[in-house]
Structure 1
Amino acid sequence: MTDERPLVIMSDETLLDEILRLAAAVGCEVERAPDLVSAGRSWARAPLVLIDEEVIEGAVELPLRRDVLMVTKGTPTPSTWERAFAAGVRQVLSLPDAESALIGALADIAEGPIVPGGCVIGVIGGRGGAGASVFAAALGLAAGEDGALLVDCDPLGGGLDLLLGAESTDGARWPSLQLDGGRISMKALRDALPEHAHPRGRLPFVSCDRDGDGPTADALASVVDAGRRAGKVVVCDLPRHVDARTRPIVARADLIVVVMPAELRACASVRRVVKGLFDRADRAKLVVRGPAPCDLAPEDAAVAARVPLLTSMAPERHLDRHIENGEFAPRPRGPLITAARTVLAELRASTHLTEAAA
C-alpha cells in the first residue's frame, strides 16, 4: 500500500461522509481540508484531489495540476459541467451512479501502481478424480514465496483447505467472505484469508467450506482481479462443468491446464470438457498424469484428446497417504512440482508474448 493520500476538500458534510465511507471500504486513508487555502502544499503534492462544487464557486480557475475530480450528489447541471471544466477539473462524478468509478480511483491510490506479472491460470480435471485440485495446489507452491493466490472455484470439491491440511487454519472461507463484486485490495484480502505455510513461503488461499454456499461470479471476479493487479499468479481450481458462476474466470484465464490420467476413456472426457470452455478452448493445454495402465504415451493421449500437450508427470510416491494424513508437501524435485514449474514457465512465456504484442 502506498503512503500517499488523496486530498479531499469538501464543505458538504453528507458528501464528505460518503467519500470517507468509500475510502475506508478500499483501505484508502485521505487528507482533509475545509477549503483550497487550507490545503496549502497538499494541493500539488497529493496523488488525487476530490472537491465539491463550492470549491469552484467564484473561482476563475484552480491552481494547475492533474487528477482533480469533482464529486456531486445527483446529476450535475450543465452549468456545473461548464464551470468545472473551465476551472481545470478533469472529471465530474455524480453519486451514487459513479460510485464504482470513485472506488476505483481511491483503490488505485491505496494499492499503488499495478504490479507487473499478474496472470490467471485455470486448472480443470479432464475426468473425475484426475487430480486437478492437487495440481492447482502444486502450482501455488511452485510459484514461490508470496508469488501466488490459490482460489477454490468448486463448491463440490470438498474444500482446498482439507487438501492443504489447513482446515483448522484461521481465515475466511467463501461463505464468510462477503464480496458483492466491488473492488478489493490484495492487502485487505490477504488480511482476511488463511495461508498455507510451506518451505518457500506462505500461500494465501480462498477455500470453499463443507457448509454454506460457494462463491458467486462477482465474488470470484473480485478476488481474481485483486490478485492479478497485485502481480500474483492466481491459480483457480475450476469445476469440470463451466457455468455462469465460473465463466468470467475462464474468460480471464491466460492459460487453462487440463489434467488427465493416461487413459483412453479420459481422452474422450477431455474433449467434452474442453468443448465446454467455448471461446477459451484455444487456451487449454494438457498435463498427462501417469501411470498409463495400457502404456498410452502422453503424446498419443494428447492427439486422442485433441488438446496440445504441455507436459506429463509420473506419479508422486506416497502423496495420497500424506494428503490423507493432513500433509501437503510434495517433494521439491518430485514429478508434481517439476511439472508445475514447467506449466508456470509456459504461462510466463505466453503472457510475456501477449504483453509484447500489445
Structure 2
Amino acid sequence: MSTLYRTTLAICCLASLLPLGALAADAEQPQAAAEAPAVPTTPRAPLLERSQEDAQALERLVPKAEQQTLQAGADSFLALWKAANDSDPKGAVIIVPGAGETADWPNAVGPLRRKFPDIGWHSLSVSLPDLLGDAPVARAEAKPAEQPAKEQGESAPVKDTPADANANVAQATAADADTAESTDAEQAGEQNDKADAERIFARLDAAVAYAQQHNSRSIVLIGHGSGAYWAARYLSEKQPPQVQKLVMVAAQTPARVEHDLESLAPTLKVPTADLYYATRSADRNAAALRLQASKRQKDSQYKQLSLIAMPANREGEQEQLFRRVRGWMSPTPQE
C-alpha cells in the first residue's frame, strides 16, 4: 500500500512540473532568436541603363581593335575608333548618335564611321547616356480619404453652406494644386536638362581629347537625329576651339530641353551644315524654320543641304549621305 502511494505521489509531482518546463522553454526561444546572428542580405546590383545594355551587346559584335573605353568624370563609356587609312590624316570626325541609337547604328552612324577612314579621316563614334527626362516618373501615393465625422466619434456642426460656394472653393483649390504641380514639374525638367547636358558634354570632351591624342589637325562633329542637337548645344555652350565644323544629319530636338535647334544652329560660331530629307514633310518644315532663323543672323555660317530618302535602296541612301558630307567638308574636287 505504501509503494502504490509513493508511485501515485511521484506521478502527481511530475505532472505539476510539466507546465513550468514548457513555460521556461517558451521564454528561452525569443532570447535564442535574439542571440542568433543576422543573416547578411546581398544588395541588388543597380539596373543598367538601356544605353549600357546596348553597348554591351555592341562589344560582342564589333572587332576588339575598334573598341575604346573612354572616361567622362565618373562615367566610362564605349566609343568606336577607326584610324585613317592615310600616312597624313586630314583630321578626325566625331559621330554623335541620336536617342535609342548605338555607336554603330546602321543608319548614318555606322556607314559614316566606316567610310571616312578611306578618305583620310579618323573616325570616332561615341555612345550617349539615357536622358533623365525620359525616365518614368513615380506617381505620388494617394492619401486615404478622410472619414466622416460620425465615424470618428465627433459631432460636426451642420452649416448651411450654398452649393456654389463649395464649388468655388473646390475650383480654387484645384487651380492652386495644378499651379504647384506645374511649377514642380518645370523645376524638375530644368534640373534634368542641366544634368543631361553635363553628362553628354563630359563625353564629348573626352572624345575631343582622344581625337587630339592622334594628331588630328581638324575635328568635325557629326550629329544624327537628337545627337545633332547635343552636338550643336555643346558647341554653343562650351565653344571648344579644337572643333572646326559641325554636320547635322536629320536633326531633331529632344523633348523637354531648354533650347531648340532653331535657336541654336544658326548662331554657332563654326561652319555648320544642316542635311535634311526633303522628301519627309516634318524634316522639311523644321529645316525651313532653321533656315529662316539663319537669315536673321549677321555673318551666319549656317548652310543647308537636302537629301532624298530611298527606302528601297538603303545602301544608295547611305552613299548619298556620305558624298554630301564629304563634299561639304572638302569642297575641292576629289580624285
Give the TM-score, by structure 2 length: 0.35
Q: Which structure: greater helix fraction?
A: 2
Larger radius of gyration: 2
Query: TM-score under structure 1 normalisation?
Result: 0.33
Query: Looking at both structures, which has the greater relative contact order when contacts are Cα pairs under 8 Å and sequence separation is at least 6?
Result: 1
